[in-house]
Structure 1
Amino acid sequence: MRRRDWLPAALGLAASPALRAAPPLRVIYPRPPREVDPRHWYPLQLLEMALQASGVSFELQPSADIMVQSRSLLEVAAGNEAVHIAWSMTSREREQRLLPVRIPLYRGLYGWRLLLVQRDSLERWSQVRSLDDLRKLELIQGHDWPDTEILRANGIKVNPASTADARINMLRAGRGAGYPRSVLEIWEEQGRQRDWARIEPRLALHYPTAMYYFVRPGDTRLAGLVERGLNRLLADGRFEQHFEQVYRGDLRQAGLRHRRVIQLSNPLLPPQTPLDRKELWYRPA
């Protein structure tokens, strides 16, 4: 066989379609409820941006079933193929079961809470000025939320419920004086109850926390790609630009620098939380 004939044959393996291009990385995320449009879903938008910035070829796919947060975390922890990545507020327990990407998606703003209250209770709330005052009241939270444990650790009474409807019904029935919600989500919540609910106008609660992407235990490749992409978005300003585009209006309405802030401790915060990276956290100007 002449040299020019056997050289392509010898290299045929390297030139085969299977080896020319690796298949794209398939990433399954929790399918949202039907009322959520994935095209405008901030954590999914940011995930897609991060994977694009990482330089990997990928395909994002929703899970077969709609998944609430608690189920998506269980599925990720199980390490099966139902879902590969989810996002949630961090805690020591969650970081033991799951692999976190320690870049706060919402710049720590899930630890900045305003209070949804009954319209007729605003006068009562005007007397609340300190943590000691707050401890005289009972607040409503999700039964499996880290926030519930955080509030209780600060001596605040909590009446938990498992569903969003149940929490709203409890507040309306007076089975709790207030319902703390992140500054990024309370406006939509109040808008659905505008006939009887108000956002308390003077107070904010604050505790350090972070909402992270979590991946399956041992999936260091996906965790590394997402972290690399997020850091590139931070470095070139696209992270903050996108965040501001989505949440500028909510933060303007919140007016955090004009509120009395009640500081709470967070005993659930893992020691690895990157509090020293100032560029990761929102600070009221």
Structure 2
Amino acid sequence: MREIDPSSWYPLQLLKLALEACGVSCELEPTRQVMVQSRALLDLQNGQDGLDIAWSMTSIERERQLLPIRFPIYKGLYGWRLMLLKRGLEPHLLREVRSLADLRRYSLVQGHDWPDTTILRANGLQVVTGSSFDAMFNMLRLERGQAFPRALLEIDWELESHADSLAIDPHLCLHYPTAMYFFVGRGNERLAGLVERGLNRLLAKGSFERIFMQYHGAILARHVLSRRRVLELHNPLLPPETPLARKELWMQP
């Protein structure tokens, strides 16, 4: 996996700009140790290890435990899914799929404990699960599953290690509404208010769109979603407070 300087991460750059937009000059410091997401969110909930803010996909349960800043920092891009297929199948396997009813004839690979598995099954789709990425990629190679839906933001670098045996389907895109937010602890309303106000100021003056495209414009240009058939899915895990009515917050293909 490629090493990336954490200081260049999109969420950190966006957070810094949002705080500066509110007149707050700060130095963002990572935690002293690398944490898995579940540990980081638990520490944030309990106010441990000096952790003030983190970013994660939202869910009903997560919004009960933490204070969400309901501004989708990736404009919902993690809900746009392209299909990885066994190489050689990409010209024709999904070419005639026009609806969810058509897609239900195919088995889709996912992680056994992923929320995406719940979402796909809630839409009546067949899902076969694996316990690790290596296992899931092998399931495609061995045709134990026919397609592996992956987020638009992830699929290219995942394919880099498997380009000899896997390929991206050129026909189809799945979409369900989902959001990645900044989260703070329940008692940290002041920080939540500052970040939310700063993000909305960046949005109003066009700075949010500029930094979003700086980081993600090349991916959107490479995979033009408007040229694909988009199948819309219901997301039963999405909190009802999600600001879907604010169209300016979401990516429109």
Q: TM-score, normalised by structure 1?
A: 0.82
In structure 1, the partner of 2:89 is 121
Inter-CA distance 162–58: structure 2 relative to 1 (3 Å threshold): farther
Do 1:79 and 1:217's aligned partners in 2 also have CA atoms closer than 8 Å?
no
Structure of higher RCO (CA pairs closer than 8 Å, 6+ residues apart): 2
Q: Using the alignment, how far apart are the partners of 1:227 and 1:247 within structure 2?
A: 22
Deviates more, 1:193-202 or 1:46-55: 46-55
Deviates more, 1:101-110 or 1:67-76: 67-76
Question: Unpaired runs of 5+ in structure 1?
Answer: 1-32
Deviates more, 1:143-152 or 1:98-107: 143-152
Q: CA deviation at 1:162?
A: 4.7
Inter-CA distance 56–161: structure 2 relative to 1 (3 Å threshold): farther
Out of 111, 114, 128, the residue aligned to residue 145 of structure 1 is: 114
Do 1:64 and 1:82's aligned partners in 2 also have CA atoms closer than 8 Å?
no
User: Residue type matched to 1:277 in 2?
Assistant: R
In structure 2, the partner of 1:101 is 69
Out of 206, 214, 217, the residue aligned to residue 237 of structure 1 is: 206
User: Residue type matched to 1:116 in 2?
Assistant: L
Out of 182, 207, 224, the residue aligned to residue 255 of structure 1 is: 224
Matches within 5 A, 1:1-285: 35-81=3-49, 83-122=51-90, 123-284=92-253
Secondary structure, counterpart of 1:60 in structure 2: coil
Q: CA deviation at 1:121?
A: 2.8
Secondary structure, counterpart of 1:61 in structure 2: coil
User: Residue type matched to 1:235 in 2?
Assistant: A
Q: Using the alignment, how far apart are the partners of 1:144 and 1:102 within structure 2?
A: 25
User: Residue type matched to 2:246 in 1?
Assistant: R
Q: CA deviation at 1:172?
A: 3.0
Q: Using the alignment, how far apart are the partners of 2:130 and 2:45 within structure 1?
A: 24
Deviation track 1:197-252 (CA, whole Å, cap 9, x = no partner) reads 11100000011111111111221122111111111111111100011111111101
Deviation track 1:52-91 (CA, whole Å, cap 9, x = no partner) reads 2222232311112212333322322233225322212211
User: Residue type matched to 1:272 in 2?
Assistant: E
Secondary structure, counterpart of 2:71 in structure 1: coil
Q: Using the alignment, how far apart are the partners of 2:217 and 2:97 within structure 1?
A: 28
Inter-CA distance 166–41: structure 2 relative to 1 (3 Å threshold): farther
Q: Which protein has the bigger helix share? A: 1
Inter-CA distance 146–125: structure 2 relative to 1 (3 Å threshold): same
Deviation track 1:72-129 (CA, whole Å, cap 9, x = no partner) reads 2232223322532221221111111111100001111111111111113323322433
Deviates more, 1:273-282 or 1:173-182: 173-182
User: Residue type matched to 2:95 in 1?
Assistant: S
% same residue: 58
Do 2:67 and 2:183's aligned partners in 1 also have CA atoms closer than 8 Å?
yes
Q: TM-score, normalised by structure 2?
A: 0.91
Inter-CA distance 131–104: structure 2 relative to 1 (3 Å threshold): same
Do 2:78 and 2:178's aligned partners in 1 also have CA atoms closer than 8 Å?
yes
Do 1:117 and 1:178's aligned partners in 2 also have CA atoms closer than 8 Å?
yes
Do 1:78 and 1:216's aligned partners in 2 also have CA atoms closer than 8 Å?
yes
Question: Unpaired runs of 5+ in structure 2?
Answer: none
Deviates more, 1:199-208 or 1:61-70: 61-70
Inter-CA distance 111–93: structure 2 relative to 1 (3 Å threshold): same
Q: Using the alignment, how far apart are the partners of 2:143 and 2:51 within structure 1?
A: 38
In structure 2, the partner of 1:5 is none
Q: Using the alignment, how far apart are the partners of 1:83 and 1:152 within structure 2?
A: 35
Secondary structure, counterpart of 1:106 in structure 2: coil
Q: CA deviation at 1:283?
A: 0.5
